Amino acid sequence: MDESYSSTVKSIGAIILTLVLFLGVGYYVYTSLFVPPGPAQVEDQVATAPAQSAPAAKTPS
């Protein structure tokens, strides 16, 4: 029973590892394909963020 339990744990671990690898590769491909329009939006948010956060930071102090 212990041998079958360890074999099932190993098989479940292998399945989880393969799923994580597939998700990692898929996420890498997704980001590499869709990131080029992303930085402009992120830069716009970063550029507008200090103007919005500066008064909020000054108000408590």
Q: What pLDDT, on a 0 to 100 scale, did the predictor assign at position 32?
A: 83
Could you give the C-alpha distances from 47 to 17, 29, 35, 56, in angstroms and in order? 40, 28, 18, 16
What pLDDT digit, counting tens, does each position of 4-51 carry?
Answer: 889 999 999 999 999 999 999 999 988 888 765 555 555 555 555 555
Q: How many domains does the chain have?
A: 1
pLDDT of residue 35: 62
Q: Which domain holds residue 29?
A: 2-58
**What's the predicted TM-score (pTM) here?**
0.44
For residue 35, what are its two tokens?
Answer: 């990131």
